[in-house]
């Protein structure tokens, strides 16, 4: 029996004790409590907090690292059960998406934005090709940046589920079952 996986993207800069860390840890617990394994980038910050939360709830944690890209990082965080190295940043994102049932995006920086954009674009392409897009939920803070500008419209935005509360996260995860 295989465990379905949810990819969670987030900042590498979150510090223990911060609101961002607490949110990431609670998301990890929620994913594991809903019966999913969690996949993160495997390093510190929100990735570690998600991993820690998932482990505390009895979940399996995958860390998709990029050691050739992040030479200063000493490997996966202590909560990762299985480290899966990827050769590049986009290879890392693609690998996480290949085996995940859905994607969650916490607040973050440029790396998290890149992960959202790659995931979102692939979901859009899947839908254009008649497939079922990978569900993508983002912390509502991202919506200010991602709302229609240029040629972005409702059809693109409907591929994103904004999460404003823990209840929204639980409902999103329940819909995946």
CATH of the domain at 90: 3.40.50.450
Residue 161 structural domain: 5-176
Q: Domain count of the chain?
A: 1
pLDDT in the model for residue 149: 66
pLDDT in the model for residue 130: 96
Do 31 and 104 touch, CB atoms closer than 8 A?
Answer: yes
pLDDT in the model for residue 1: 47
pLDDT in the model for residue 67: 74
pLDDT in the model for residue 14: 95
The stretches in the chain having pLDDT less than 70 are: 1, 148-150
Ramachandran angles phi, psi of 103, nearest 5°: -130, 135
What 8-state DSSP symbol labels residue 174?
Answer: H
Give the distance, in angstroms, between the CA of residue 85 and the centroid of all CA atoms in the same chain.
17
pLDDT in the model for residue 141: 94
């Amino acid at each position: 029996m295989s465990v379905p996986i949810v990819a969670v993207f987030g900042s590498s800069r979150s510090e223990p004790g911060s609101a961002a860390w607490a949110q990431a840890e609670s998301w990890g617990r929620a994913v594991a409590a809903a019966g999913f394994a969690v996949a993160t980038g495997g390093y510190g910050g929100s990735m570690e907090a998600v991993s820690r939360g998932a482990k505390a709830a009895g979940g399996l944690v995958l860390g998709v690292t990029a050691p050739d890209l992040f030479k200063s990082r000493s490997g996966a965080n202590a909560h990762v059960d299985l480290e899966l190295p990827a050769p590049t940043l986009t290879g890392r994102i693609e690998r996480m998406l290949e085996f995940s049932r859905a994607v969650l995006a916490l607040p973050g920086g440029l790396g998290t934005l890149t992960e959202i954009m790659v995931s979102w674009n692939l979901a859009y392409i899947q839908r254009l090709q008649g497939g079922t897009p990978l569900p993508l939920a983002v912390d509502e803070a991202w919506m200010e940046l991602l709302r229609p500008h240029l040629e972005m419209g409702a059809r693109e935005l409907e591929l994103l589920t904004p999460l404003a509360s823990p209840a929204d996260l639980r409902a999103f995860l329940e819909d995946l079952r």
